[in-house]
Amino acid sequence: MNARFFTLASIILGVALFRYLPHPPNVSPIAAMALFAGATFSDRRAAFLVPFSALFIGDLLIGLHNTMLFVYLAFGLVLVLGFALRNRLQPMYIAAATLSSSLMFFLISNFGAWWVSAMYPMNAGGLMQAYIAGIPFFQNTLLGDAGFSLLLFGTYALLQKNAGWMQAKSVSHG
């Protein structure tokens, strides 16, 4: 395990601990962790393994739920979006990817809530009800994603600027 990998994994695991602190609904480091891992880990397997492990361990401790499949699907797609950020780690691209991540999570998780819940009719109207019910939480999703992306990518940029061993490019080996 090299110092760069250990540092990146430590940053992700450190941010994952936020899930255990009291916080507003949907203000979470989940999407930012996935986006950051996809953008910065040179090994794609590690990019999946580290944040998915943090997410799964957290879910085991916090509690499993019936929409996990949809949350993990959204998480995986956000991670793949992070791959597109490699070698494009400028604020404009990170901001666009963060907004896209929030929208993806909103669409997929609310679809999941509609699909597995008896709260909504299983028709187009019920799906729209699920999306409308999720709108109040979307601002918190945006806030969490933006804040944690800023923290993760900002920390990474500072480390790159101040530590020569972080200068290694995030080029895929797989």
What pLDDT band is residue 167 in, cutting at 50, 70 and 90? Answer: low
Q: Which of 27, 28, 47 is nearest to 36 (CA)?
A: 47
What pLDDT band is residue 35 in, cutting at 50, 70 and 90? Answer: very high
Query: What's the average model confidence in pLDDT over 44-60?
Result: 87
Q: What percent of the chain has pLDDT over 70?
A: 93
Total structural domains within the chain: 1
Query: Is the dihedral angle over the CA atoms 57, 58, 64, 65 positive or is it negative?
Result: negative
With a cut of 50, say whether residue 171 has pLDDT above it.
no
Query: Residue 118: which domain range?
Result: 3-16+29-166
174 within a domain of the structure (yes/no): no
Angle between helices 68-85 and 44-62 (to 10 degrees): 150
9 within a domain of the structure (yes/no): yes
What pLDDT band is residue 173 in, cutting at 50, 70 and 90? Answer: very low
Place of tokens 């499993």: 64
What pLDDT band is residue 11 in, cutting at 50, 70 and 90? Answer: confident
172 within a domain of the structure (yes/no): no
Cα 159 versus chain centre, distance: 21
What pLDDT band is residue 12 in, cutting at 50, 70 and 90? Answer: confident
171 within a domain of the structure (yes/no): no
| Full-model pTM | 0.84
Q: What was the pLDDT predicted at 124? A: 96
The one-letter amino acid at 171 = V
With a cut of 90, say whether residue 161 has pLDDT above it.
no
Average pLDDT score, the chain: 87
Q: What was the pLDDT predicted at 27? A: 86
Place of tokens 């936020």: 18
Task: Give the DSSP letter string of the chain.
Answer: --HHHHHHHHHHHHHHGGGGS---TT--SHHHHHHHHHHH-SSHHHHHHHHHHHHHHHHHHH---TTHHHHHHHHHHHHHHHHHHTT--SHHHHHHHHHHHHHHHHHHHHHHHHHH-TTS-SSHHHHHHHHHHHHHHHHHHHHHHHHHHHHHHHHHHHHHHH-GGGGS------
Rg, Å, the chain Cα set: 16
Q: What was the pLDDT predicted at 1? A: 58
pLDDT tens digits, 96-148: 999 999 999 999 999 999 999 889 999 999 999 999 999 999 999 999 999 99
89 within a domain of the structure (yes/no): yes
Rounded to an integer, what distance in angstroms lies between the CA atom of residue 167 and that of residue 165?
5
